[in-house]
Amino acid sequence: MRTRWIIVLLLLIPLSDALLLVPVAGELGYLPTVALVVLTGLVGMMLVRAEGRTTLRRIQQRLAIGELPANQLLDGGLLIAAGAFLLTPGLVTDVLGFMLAIPVTRYPIRTVIKRYVVKPYLDKQADGFVSGGVWTGGFPYPDEGDDVYDVDGSSYRFDDDDAGTDRSN
């Protein structure tokens, strides 16, 4: 049922783009409309590139101090989506792309995604042992498989051919 609504939403985006471009082209003219779409795409891609560098730098800083860069990884995913929307010709997709690229609007979107997508997914995977976005259900972590264990902050993988390989390096 949920998949059906996602498909409908994904089909409505290009349809709304086409329906909006026709009156805009009638008002501005075809050449200025094409120039507007190309210009918004170029400016948006420059913004996504700059935000991507900042996000990558923040990921590296969080990893350097030994913290999980969960918010920054979500930002990276949202920036990838922003780039895809901005590369798609159209005004509606450009607005969506800018909303995902600009931090002022991206942060609330990230919060909603964490609350309604990430946390329910982790809850389902962990049989309800997720609180506050942190895995509290014990080890192993649900996305690393049954043979990975966290001991004193280091991840160890137990394979058949060795007693335990430190994966923290």
Please write the tens of the pLDDT for every residue from 119-153. 888 888 776 665 554 544 444 444 544 444 444 45
Q: How far apart are CA 158 and CA 160, in angstroms?
A: 7
Question: What own/partner pairs with CB < 8 Å and gap ≥ 24 does 20-26 have?
Answer: 20/90, 20/91, 20/92, 21/90, 21/91, 24/91
Q: What is the pLDDT of residue 64?
A: 93
Q: How confident is the model over 27-74, as pLDDT tens digits?
A: 999 999 999 999 998 999 999 999 999 999 999 999 999 988 989 999
pLDDT digits (tens, 9 = 90+) for 88-98: 888 999 999 99
pLDDT on residue 166: 45
Name the pLDDT band for 118 (thresholds 50, 70, 90): confident
Quick count: other Cβ atoms within 10 Å of Cβ 43?
Answer: 14
